[in-house]
Amino acid sequence: MKREITIVVPINAKSKQREHVRSRLLDLASKTGKEKGNICYVLHESDSDPNLFIIYEKWKNQAALDFHMEQDYLKAFLADEAKLLSKPIAGTICREIN
């Protein structure tokens, strides 16, 4: 059984904050991709909603995800959530089944 963890995270930027959120997310993706235990961290933009970004991330195990959640650059982004985003962040944690 695989222990890898996949997370899909929709990020809904406030209209006036879209470009700032995009820039912050690109920086976050660059730093996160270098973390030990990160398999992938891919940022997407919605074709139908210009303010919607989606992060697809995959982690080797829970310890790698826990390490990620403690990084200062992630904490800084999360601290700005209320002023940058129109909805709270609510990712979905998944595990591959095939």
Q: Do 5 and 95 touch, CB atoms closer than 8 A?
A: yes
Q: Where are the domains of the chain?
A: 11-94
- What whole-number percentage of the chain has pLDDT above 70? 98
SS3 67: helix
> What stretch of H or E contains 44?
strand 38-45
Residue 3 has pLDDT above 90, yes or no: no
Can you give the pLDDT at residue 2? Answer: 63
Bigger pLDDT: 67 vs 94: 67
Between CA 61 and CA 51 the distance in angstroms is 30
Between CA 37 and CA 53 the distance in angstroms is 23
Average per-residue pLDDT in the chain? 96
CATH 3.30.70.360 given to domain 11-94: no
Residue position matching structure tokens 């973390």 = 35
